[in-house]
Amino acid sequence: MHWEYWVVTRSRNFATDGGAWNISGDAMLATLADAGAQGWELVSVYPRQSLVNYKGMTSEEIWVFKRPVDTLPG
């Protein structure tokens, strides 16, 4: 089986209310539902630091999706 991949970089916002991460659960669910409807399967999520001011803190997530590619001769 052959696969195609889709990589999404999702920013995380640092909130000012006591230092909690501001991640919208609704936005995550909407993204996953839309991707699933298009045949994408989430296979990995990993954190990435991208902000110099917050050394050692995760400021982004990389989401990797895959879905099968039709390989029938055509």
- Count of structural domains, the chain: 1
Q: How much is the pLDDT for 49? A: 74
CA distance 71 to 47: 33
Which is more confidently placed, 71 or 14? 71
Which pTM value belongs to this model? 0.68
pLDDT at 6: 92
pLDDT digits (tens, 9 = 90+) for 4-63: 999 987 776 655 544 444 456 777 788 788 889 999 999 998 887 766 556 667 777 788
Residue 74 lies in a domain: no
Inside any domain, residue 52: yes
Is 30 domain-assigned?
yes
For residue 46, being part of any structural domain is answered with yes
How is the beta sheet containing 41-48 ordered, strand by strand? 2-11, 60-69, 41-48
- Of the candidates 18, 19, 16, 28, the one whose C-alpha atom is nearest the C-alpha of residue 61 is 28
